Amino acid sequence: MRSKAPIDEKSRAAEVSKRRVSLHSSKNNSRHSDKYQRILDAAILVIAEHGYFQSRVSEIAERAGVADGTIYLYFKNKEEILRAAITSAFTEFLRRARHELESTSDPVEQLHRLARLHLSALSANKPLAAVFQTELRHSAKFLAEFSRTELKQYFDLIREIVRRGQQAGTFRPGVSDKIVANCFFGALDEMVTSWVLSDHDYPLEGAAVAVADVIISGLKA
Amino acid sequence: MRSKAPIDEKSRAAEVSKRRVSLHSSKNNSRHSDKYQRILDAAILVIAEHGYFQSRVSEIAERAGVADGTIYLYFKNKEEILRAAITSAFTEFLRRARHELESTSDPVEQLHRLARLHLSALSANKPLAAVFQTELRHSAKFLAEFSRTELKQYFDLIREIVRRGQQAGTFRPGVSDKIVANCFFGALDEMVTSWVLSDHDYPLEGAAVAVADVIISGLKA
Amino acid sequence: MRSKAPIDEKSRAAEVSKRRVSLHSSKNNSRHSDKYQRILDAAILVIAEHGYFQSRVSEIAERAGVADGTIYLYFKNKEEILRAAITSAFTEFLRRARHELESTSDPVEQLHRLARLHLSALSANKPLAAVFQTELRHSAKFLAEFSRTELKQYFDLIREIVRRGQQAGTFRPGVSDKIVANCFFGALDEMVTSWVLSDHDYPLEGAAVAVADVIISGLKA
Amino acid sequence: MRSKAPIDEKSRAAEVSKRRVSLHSSKNNSRHSDKYQRILDAAILVIAEHGYFQSRVSEIAERAGVADGTIYLYFKNKEEILRAAITSAFTEFLRRARHELESTSDPVEQLHRLARLHLSALSANKPLAAVFQTELRHSAKFLAEFSRTELKQYFDLIREIVRRGQQAGTFRPGVSDKIVANCFFGALDEMVTSWVLSDHDYPLEGAAVAVADVIISGLKA
DNA sequence: AATGAATGAGTCTTCATTCAT
DNA sequence: GATGAATGAAGACTCATTCAT
């Protein structure tokens, strides 16, 4: 029974700048990436504000500062925009997660780092977080694909840490790594959802230690 | 970064009977409750299959065995159908949860029971589970209302168990009951989502013990 | 270029009682006339308030204190209600007009009486006036029929007075009685429309003398 | 008791060309004004034929030679089409009326010219006349606005002529200019309505002199 | 005669997508 | 590549009318 703390239009609208996006330094390194990225960024903002199905392609275009038709030079259709936006952001997140884990091999520390990164990454971009928490699952086909590929890599990352911890004797055996991954991810995910839906903008990252603690304590040998 | 294991159109479509609903014994011939409930049941099926925004009111009507216009004798509009379906199912769930908790006062046992009920209740009705996991959050205003009322009661239930466990010395103090409730709910929720999105229909309830164990172990004094 | 002074929803709504109709003493002389007349009266009120096309049969039924289906025991369809309501009211008006003209044979006096009756009859029942001024013409077929029969009798009444006045030498010859009838009726009609559309409820009958004077002066030999 | 001479579906349908409109020289290739005007023209034809409420937007689109959706690039909704069509035609009429009055300052002559213009303008475009005579008053709010603005200017024009005639001694004093304006307008309006509703297409303009004469005679000092 | 729940045909409007410029 | 006017398919909802009771 998923669903979270309240969200209201106002807070959402407030946090989402209505001005044209310029999240990325407009170095314009290629004629492609410029508009392509502006469209993706605009899409995140618009979808975070209205939800995927109630977002208008024309509003994304307007926010990106391009003509409606231009969208279709870069994306096959509306769904592809959502797909690309989420995949691109998530790929970057995965890259950072892997990088983060390299500097230590202690499973406990690794889970802590993952929890911190999970919360801080989304915390840093509330519109993006809103899209991840609420819009990711709307297209069954897309979600199937995403879960089977991108998201699975994240789960595998977690499960491997757990397994190594169990092998090292840090974590007690007998707990399925799959279930632990679900718990770990689910707990963090729930924290983010609550935060996304809440009115007041409390610091999300602070919860990382507490959440990781609950899970890790439950794992300790 | 919410999103779960795969789901694909085919498996979903397969699991959802396309025949007219008859979940409830049709003895009830009182015209109202009869059609009202048939519409709600049909709505759950159709929405589970297509998602709220891609569900057609006419399909709900057809599946409920009534004319399109009849829908509007019982519901103000499409959104009200979703709202009513979810609220009605969740209210029933809450009733059962409270009943379940009455027969014991041991916090550990109570959390176990809650976990089992959570998973078995949704496990028993996959279309309903699909709606809870994916469609609950589409209307910001609706979700706000739902989170503020129905769902909050569930969270309060969990938090109170945790607090009583801490007072009794069963659970270690120093962990916010709110965060624990988020972890507990989030972990279960993630289990359900994975299950809803998965192809093969594995027994969901079996995971209850494991999930509760992880969280409870993390809480033990 | 027909159209008149302003009308606003509020004034209309205000002047039209929303309570059930009981314009006629409910002697209930026949089982028929009771509900039949109540439906007609309710129809006038509702149509005056919303206009024919925006009136709901169910509202007429409610205002008449009968069930929706009952309407169709007395009238073939919605249009027949309008037709019957207008015809019935106009027939009564014609009867009174003829009666009024009997007591004098002076054309000038007759025109004055007609003007007075025209304005006072409608003035006494603003909802009815509203229907006459605005709703009479919506069904081409109905209007055709009405103009060819009921209304034509009124025009004939006027034309005959004019012709007799010309024969008697009171009115100058050389003016087409048809055109005079149009002027006479058009002038009165315009007075009523202005009044119906106006906010403040000024006394309409007072204008009868003035209007008749203008036309009659234009006719004097 | 408004309503006029007969009109029947057949005669109406006959007089209204079903072919695509091309009232305006199509030199104007500026996409906007071109389609905008074509839609307005088509709307007049369709509304004249069926009445506003029974006109289909899709028929207007078809008659204008555009797609249904194109209508909404130029007009907010169906009602706006009617509003724009009437306002635009009436504004042009007012412009011509004012121009017509400039070339003489004799009140008698001015009223004659106004009568002639009123009848010839509508006589020249029977569908437009039909719309003016029958559809103008359907939306209370619209009519209120129209009467308060456009139509009021026409009445003011008439009233000023009457007042100047009275000051000049041409017209007898003691007759309210407002009532005279009502008589003048009402008489002309009635002529047009009769003509619009009649089967045979008699010359309307010929009546101008007669009508003006009746009213003017009634005014003479 | 009376009821009112049920019907289902009918239409305005939206908006993703295309394509001539 | 870029534009944005134009397209037209699609669907929620209304309401006159019916008919079993």
pLDDT in tens, C32-64: 669 999 999 999 999 999 989 999 999 999 999
Identity of the residue numbered D187: A
Choice among A56-65, A115-124, A141-150, B4-13 with the minimum mean pLDDT: B4-13
Q: Percent helix, strand and coil across chain D, each rounded to 5? A: 70, 0, 30
Query: How high is the pLDDT of residue B3?
Result: 38
- Cα of C221 to nearest chain D Cα, Å: 10
Instruction: Decide: A42 and A18 in contact? Cβ < 8 Å.
Output: no
- Partner chains of A (3+ C-beta pairs under 8 Å): B
- Print pLDDT tens along chain D (221 aa): 443 333 233 333 333 445 455 544 443 333 455 999 999 999 999 999 998 999 999 999 999 999 999 999 999 999 999 999 999 999 999 999 999 999 999 999 999 999 999 999 999 999 999 888 888 866 666 777 888 889 999 999 999 999 999 999 999 998 999 999 999 999 999 999 889 888 788 999 999 999 999 999 988 87
pLDDT for the residue B32: 54
Query: What residues approach strand E to within 7 A at the CB?
Result: A 54-58, 68-69, 71-72, 77-78; B 31-32, 35, 66-70, 72-73; C 31, 35, 66-70, 72-73; D 55-58, 68-69, 71-72, 77-78
Q: Which of residues 131-190 of C touch strand F (CB under 7 A)?
A: none
Query: C100: Cβ–Cβ under 8 A, 6 or more apart, which residues?
Result: C113, C114, C117
- Where do runs of H (alpha helix) occur along D168-206? 177-197
pLDDT at B31 over 80: no
Q: What pLDDT is recorded for position B8? A: 33
Cα separation, A148 vs A146, whole angstroms = 5
* Other Cβ atoms within 10 Å of D174 Cβ, number: 8
- Residue C17 in tokens: 């009682």
How many angstroms separate the CA of C57 from the C1' of F16? Answer: 7
Task: Say what angle helices D107-123 and D126-134 make with each other, to 10 degrees.
Answer: 110
Nucleotide nearest C58 (Cα, C1'): F15
D171 phi/psi in degrees, rounded to 5: -105, 145
Alpha carbon of B5 to those of A148, B53, B128, C54, D148: distances in Å?
7, 22, 18, 52, 65
Nucleotide nearest to C54 (CA to C1'): F15
Share the mean pLDDT of chain A.
Answer: 85
Q: Is the pLDDT of residue C152 over 50?
A: yes
What distances in angstroms separate CA D64 from CA A22, D38, D72, D185, one per listed residue? Answer: 43, 5, 13, 33
Give pLDDT, residue B2: 41
Q: Nearest nucleotide, C1' to the C-alpha of B31?
A: E5
- Residue corresponding to tokens 């008749």: C212
**Above 80 in pLDDT, residue B4?**
no
**Minimal CA separation from C142 to chain D, in Å:** 9
Check B215 against A219: CB less than 8 A apart: no
- Closest nt to residue C57, judged CA to C1': F16
The whole-angstrom distance between C11's CA and the closest CA on chain D is: 11
Would you call B1 and A192 a contact, using CB atoms and an 8 Å cutoff? yes
The reply to whether residue A137 touches residue B194, judged by beta carbons under 8 angstroms, is no
How many other β-carbons are positioned within 10 Å of the β-carbon of residue A146? 21
Put simply, the answer to whether C175 touches D122 (Cβ < 8 Å) is no
Cα distance between residue B56 and residue B47, in whole Å = 9
Average pLDDT over residues B82-97: 93
For chain C, what percent of residues have pLDDT higher than 90?
66
Identity at D210, one-letter amino acid code? A
Q: Between D132, D134, D190, which is nearest C189 by CB?
A: D190
* Distance from the Cα of residue B127 to its chain's centroid: 10
Rounded distance, CA D35 to CA D68, Å?
A: 12
Query: d(Cα C106, Cα C100) in Å, to the nearest integer?
Result: 12
Amino acid identity of C102?
E
Stated in angstroms, how far is D78 CA from F12 C1'? Answer: 18
Please give the Cα distance from D128 to D121 (Å, whole number). Answer: 9
D62 beta carbon to strand F: under 7 Å: no
Q: Which amino acid is at B199?
A: D
Better pLDDT: D143 or B22: D143
Asked whether A22 and A45 are in contact (CB, 8 A), the reply is no
B16 band by pLDDT with thresholds 50, 70 and 90: very low
Does residue A186 contact residue A139 with C-beta atoms inside 8 Å? Answer: no
Alpha helices per DSSP H over chain B: 9-15, 31-50, 57-64, 68-74, 78-102, 107-123, 126-134, 140-146, 152-167, 177-197, 207-219
The CA distance from C215 to C217, in Å, is 5
Range B6-34 average pLDDT: 43
* Residue whose pair of structure tokens reads 């997660």 in the numeric block: A97
Q: Tell me the two tokens of residue B55.
A: 């569900």
DSSP A19: S
Rounded to 5 degrees, φ, ψ at C220 are -50, 145
Residue range B2-25: mean pLDDT, rounded: 40
Chain B closest CA to A196's CA: distance in Å? 11
Size of interface A-B (CB pairs under 8 A): 194
Q: Where are the alpha helices (DSSP H) in A16-151?
A: 31-50, 57-64, 68-74, 78-102, 107-123, 126-134, 140-146
pTM for this entry: 0.85
A146-197 confidence digits (pLDDT tens) = 888 899 999 999 999 999 999 999 999 989 999 999 999 999 999 998 898 8
User: How many other C-beta atoms lie within 10 A of the C-beta of residue A156?
Assistant: 12
Residue D3: what pLDDT?
Answer: 38
- Judge whether residue C180 has pLDDT over 70: yes
B181 and A45 Cβ atoms separated by less than 8 Å: no
Q: How far apart are CA D140 and CA D147, in angstroms?
A: 10
Distance D167 CA to E15 C1' (A): 62
Query: Which among B126, B124, B127 has a CA at the least distance from the CA of B48?
Result: B127
Contact (CB<8Å) A215/B213? no
Residue B112 has pLDDT above 60, yes or no: yes
Measured over the CA atoms of residue C184, residue C188, residue C194 and residue C200, the dihedral's sign is positive
D near C: at least 3 beta-carbon pairs less than 8 Å apart: yes
Q: What is the mean pLDDT of residues C126-145?
A: 79
Nearest to C210 among D3, D179, D217 (CB): D179
Q: Which of B70-84, C14-28, D183-197 has the lowest mean pLDDT?
A: C14-28
CA distance D77 to A146: 42
Rg (C-alpha) for chain D, rounded Å, is: 19
**Nearest residue to E7 (CA, C1')?**
B67
Region for A51 from its dihedrals, namely left if φ exceeds 0, alpha if ψ lies in -120 to 50, beta otherwise = left
User: In the prediction, which pLDDT does D24 show?
Assistant: 47
Position A76 pLDDT exceeds 80: yes
C130 CA vs F17 C1’ separation (Å): 27
Chain C residue nearest residue D194, CA to CA: C182
Which chain A residues contact residue B190 at CB under 8 A?
Answer: 182-183, 185-186, 189
Instruction: Note the pLDDT of residue A18.
Output: 60
Mean pLDDT (whole number) for A60-71: 97
State whether the beta carbon of A78 lies below 7 angstroms from any atom of strand F: no
Lowest mean pLDDT among A131-135, B126-130, D88-92: A131-135
